[in-house]
A and B are shown apart, each in its own frame.
Chain A
């Protein structure tokens, strides 16, 4: 009696095991990301829901804090111990760096099926590919070179819209200053200094110069007179921010524009999320305009993406493919970007539900793609690997926060880049 009972128990156990392993064939994906707050968390939840509706099993691995530094540390240790997550939020040249380590999986099957070569902008494809193969998928396009302004304060000095050239910008800022208004809200963190810097490089030098200086790191461009002028303008801009700016977070600077404490902010379109969350209406309560362009327009993009790491097991590989397909799919691109404030990273998504600034962003992107003005942002890690962009950011922030002359800044810039290169 006893014996048969234990046999029964054992056979039930085996059956349970067998069915469990069968059930495991469903696509599985472990997703490592640092989107843990507000709209970002909602956006991830949307992807999770979509994934589960397609029969997938989602394992969430959020790592909060440090703008992704903490997540990258986790990633490094996971990969070293041979237990990489399926999909990781990774950006720009960091994708190439991981691909060089041989850690990324090939997505060409899905890419061919979904026709990514047609629907994803060429410049973004280059970032997602390693040696011609897709290893990552883009989720959005943020425009970095925006000016967010407070129309009421601009009206006080007779301006209706953001400035078109840097000369106009300076003139407007002087007028605002004379009227007792802080012209520019700015957070003094190195990446924010660098954000202003790159928009000035783009505006004063034009797209071609930007490409040469901050993407190709051409030495002549780096020590050119144009670059000196850029640093001169940075010094001028330093005079337009309030004295308490160092260490301020970007969203506090956005709040200054919102509350009428400052007239403008130069920041990517994630700032729009702050305005929208406060119930402000674009065009009425706040204005969006591209940063001044003296030499042709330009569009600095910052794209979030997920890289797919090499994993073992049929279910996991299937999970990756499904995830990649869904991320580039129209449905996710729309829901996600409505929540995140950015625009879709692929063509063919209806923009009807998007706000005015997003529509302008999409239209400018299309125009700038044709003229070569669609450029990767240096300050946001799209143009250069971390050690190179870091070297540039160091010089920019050191110049902005001291009395360094433009000549010295330019010579330090070339030195720092040389040093970081080898």
Chain B
């Protein structure tokens, strides 16, 4: 009797000790399989001769060669650079500016904060569709200006293959800058007020205080914002599909839409897998230095 109760308590104790591990295990196993397993599988596909169905014949680097010979892939990469660069920079500048302005203890701050943050609650499909209507020359902004009597007004970026990608930037910035603002606002509120007061005492102007003290002290938030925005940019797919459909032609294609087209419309699984690996490499190039600096920074502090 006594022996069995002691095993029972042993069991309870070990259960209590390992409860967190047991609870986490299924999701750990699932992500191991569905994320890392499929990454490995995709990497393998990129080295195979797969066309319509996955086959496992070795093709070496042929799929990557073909990928980089494709004009359309170059357009997609170029668009990613334009879109990613502008999207990140504008979002940071706009988000930071909004946060600083909201930080001035103004009235109705709560309302304004909600207004700016709200776009993030919409899906990219909705954003894309709405902006498509606004930017369509025969339907939205341009027509409205013409109807108001401004006949020479011209804004046809959506239907101009040289500028279509910039309309994607507009819509994406509209959606994400409020989120960046929220991140910055939280950081600004966390800055030590004593230092700011001390700077006031020394007669520093408000811009000086921001540029000299506050913004440098929230540097880690910049880094987090850049990481979040960069991976949003690399994986953006639905926005382009809803806004331009990759068009006119394929002039606003991004790597993600390219990959989808190759895999599901062109029966080019191999090339598609190769492009997916290139996207993964891009994200890794952003994330790994970030993680490295975070981990190293953590050690330094600890």
Contacts and interface: CB of A to CB of B under 8 A. Distances in A.
Interface of A: 66, 69, 72-73, 76, 79-80, 94, 97-98, 101, 188-190, 193, 242-247, 385-387, 390, 394-395, 397-398, 400-402, 412, 415-416, 419, 422
Interface in B65-95: 66, 69-72
Given A386-B267, A398-B71, A416-B71, A188 B136 contact: no
A386 B266 contact: yes
A190 B247 contact: yes
A402 B51 CA distance: 30
Given A398-B71, A401-B161, A246 B248 contact: yes
A415 B66 CA distance: 12
Nearest to B142: A244
B266 A243 contact: no
A244 B53 contact: no
A66 B245 CA distance: 12
Given A97-B52, A244-B159, A402-B161, 20 more contacts: A76-B52, A101-B52, A190-B250, A246-B158, A246-B161, A246-B247, A246-B248, A386-B266, A386-B267, A387-B266, A390-B265, A394-B72, A394-B250, A397-B247, A398-B251, A402-B162, A415-B71, A416-B71, A419-B66, A419-B69
Contacts of B66: 419, 422
Contacts, number: 96
Interface residues of B, number: 33
7 contacts: A76-B53, A80-B53, A94-B267, A242-B138, A247-B247, A385-B267, A398-B251
Contact of A246 (B53, B139, B159, B261): B159
Interface string B248-272: 1111000000000100111110000
B244 interface: yes
Given A80-B53, A394-B72, A402-B161, A69 B264 contact: yes
- Most A-side CB within 10 Å, residue of B137, B249, B250: B249
B137 A247 contact: no
A243 B267 contact: no
A101 B53 contact: yes
Contacts of A98: 52
B268 A387 contact: yes
Nearest to B253: A394
B238 interface: no
A386 to B, nearest CB: 5
Nearest to B136: A244
Given A101-B53, A243-B137, A401 B266 contact: no
Nearest to A398: B249
B267 A387 contact: yes
A97 B267 contact: yes
A401 B161 CA distance: 6
